[in-house]
């Protein structure tokens, strides 16, 4: 069963095709890695899935029946698609706790937020997530003061607390120490199965650690797909990407 299906999706920017008839099928509970040289269209693909960019052609189906192409960013988020950006974007002026509070899955309408008050179970969820991302001693710290790696973790925490069915992670371990990277890998592996994950990365050791199926993007379409060893031995992949 597929959680996300892209069928021949094309996106052009002034005639330049950032995505060129891209097809992709992510199964429920799968952990998929996407690699590809800079400019291959990885971020654009996430923009299309989350409603930031509109596809010119093609289908984007979530959970087999829901067509997300005409939906707003907020509505897509409510379907259960969470996204971590390439550049960590957290709310620097709020505390770590407050960042998670805003991300948490709950009624997000303005008139509800005006009177909202966290109950005990919601506080517990925040504390659990804080432990999961190892920021439980920094709850009241202003998020802007965290280290780069900690900001990445906070953003991952903001994703987790939304409890999305599908997580899109754009270069999640960029700027992390080796130790932090390894722990992030463990976390992602523990999430697979319960959630579906799409991870865009350059770090081959990290992809190897994750161990899922790998898709290679090149010039807006799929160049190769399979386990890491297979794609690493693919002649075309070596030529455009790994060989350089």
Partner 1 sequence: MRRPFIVRFFSATPKAGWQALAIFTTFALLVVPLLHLAVPETSVFHVSSYAITLIGKIMCFAIVGVAMDLIWGYAGILSLGHGLFFALGGYAFGMYLMRQIGRDGSYQSDLPDFMVFLDWKQLPWYWTGSDSIWWAAVLVLTVPALVALVFGFFAFRSRIKGVYFSIITQAMTFAAMLYFFRNETGFGGNNGFTDFKRIAGYSITSPEMRVTLFALSAAMLMATLVLCRYVVSSKFGRVLMAIRDAESRVMFLGYNPLHYKLAAWTLSAFLCGIAGALYVPQVGIINPGEMSPANSIEIAIWVAVGGRATLVGPVIGAFIVNLSKSFFTQAFPEYWLFFLGALFVGVTLWLPQGVVGLWSQWREKRANALAIAPADAAVEPGAAK
- The residue ranges that bind Mg ion (CB under 5 A) are 43, 86
The answer to whether 140 contacts partner 1 (rule: CB under 8 A) is yes
The answer to whether 44 contacts ligand ADP (rule: CB under 6 A) is yes
Find the part of the chain contacting partner 1 (CB under 8 A) among 13-21, 53-61, 133-141, 182-190.
133-141
Query: Which residue(s) pair with 67 in the sheet?
Result: 61
Nearest-approach distance from CB 139 to partner 1, in angstroms: 5
Nearest-approach distance from CB 132 to partner 1, in angstroms: 15
**Among residues 15, 38, 70, 111, the one that binds partner 1 under rule CB under 8 A:** 111
Which residues lie below 8 Å from residue 22, measured CB to CB, with a gap of 6+?
6, 8, 9, 10, 41, 45, 58, 217, 220, 221, 222
**Among residues 54, 64, 67, 108, the one that binds partner 1 under rule CB under 8 A:** 108
Find the part of the chain contacting ligand ADP (CB under 6 A) among 33-41, 137-145, 152-160, 178-186.
33-41
Find the part of the chain contacting partner 1 (CB under 8 A) among 36-44, 139-147, 196-204, 219-227.
139-147
Nearer to ligand ADP, 97 or 206 (CB): 206
User: Are 148 and 175 a contacting pair, CB within 8 Å?
Assistant: yes
User: Are 164 and 82 a contacting pair, CB within 8 Å?
Assistant: yes
Q: How far apart are CA 76 and CA 70, in angstroms?
A: 10
| CA dist list (Å): 85 to 52, 201, 229, 239 | 12, 12, 28, 28
User: Are 220 and 240 a contacting pair, CB within 8 Å?
Assistant: no
Residue carrying structure tokens 């959680």:
3
Nearer to partner 1, 110 or 229 (CB): 110
Ordered alpha helix ranges (H), the chain? 42-49, 73-79, 96-103, 110-113, 120-132, 148-161, 178-191, 204-210, 228-232, 235-237
**Among residues 28, 102, 187, 242, the one that binds partner 1 under rule CB under 8 A:** 102
Nearest-approach distance from CB 47 to ligand ADP, in angstroms: 7
The answer to whether 231 contacts ligand ADP (rule: CB under 6 A) is no
Hey, what are 32's tokens?
């998929």
Among 134, 65, 60, smallest CA distance to 96 is for 134
User: Are 201 and 207 a contacting pair, CB within 8 Å?
Assistant: yes
Nearest-approach distance from CB 46 to ligand ADP, in angstroms: 8
The answer to whether 50 contacts ligand ADP (rule: CB under 6 A) is no
**Among residues 31, 45, 48, 158, the one that binds partner 1 under rule CB under 8 A:** 158
User: Are 237 and 216 a contacting pair, CB within 8 Å?
Assistant: yes
- Summarize as ranges the residues that interact with ligand ADP (CB under 6 A): 13, 18, 36, 38-44
- Summarize as ranges the residues that interact with partner 1 (CB under 8 A): 50, 52, 72-74, 77-78, 82-83, 85, 89-94, 97-98, 101-103, 108-111, 113-117, 119, 130, 136-141, 158, 162
């Amino acid at each position: 069963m597929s959680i996300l299906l892209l069928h021949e999706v094309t996106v052009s920017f002034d005639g330049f095709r950032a995505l060129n008839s891209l097809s992709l099928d992510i199964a429920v509970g799968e952990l998929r890695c996407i690699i590809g040289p800079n400019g291959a269209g990885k971020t654009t693909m996430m923009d299309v899935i989350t409603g930031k960019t509109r596809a010119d052609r093609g289908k984007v189906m979530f959970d087999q029946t829901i067509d997300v192409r005409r939906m707003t960013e907020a509505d897509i988020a409510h379907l259960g698609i969470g996204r971590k950006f390439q550049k960590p974007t957290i709310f620097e002026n709020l505390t770590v706790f407050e960042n998670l509070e805003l991300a948490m899955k709950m009624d997000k309408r303005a008139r509800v937020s005006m009177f909202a008050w966290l109950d005990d179970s919601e506080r517990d969820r925040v504390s659990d997530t804080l432990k999961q991302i190892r920021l439980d001693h920094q709850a009241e710290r202003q998020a802007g003061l965290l280290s780069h790696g900690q900001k990445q973790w906070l953003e991952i925490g903001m994703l987790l607390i939304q409890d999305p069915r599908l997580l899109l992670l754009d270069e999640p371990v960029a700027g992390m120490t080796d130790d932090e990277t390894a722990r992030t890998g463990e976390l992602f592996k523990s999430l697979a199965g319960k959630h579906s994950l799409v991870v865009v990365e350059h770090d081959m050791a990290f992809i190897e650690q994750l161990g899922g199926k790998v898709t290679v993007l090149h010039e807006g379409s799929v160049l190769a797909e399979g386990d890491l060893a297979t794609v690493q031995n693919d002649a075309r992949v070596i030529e455009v990407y790994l060989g350089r």
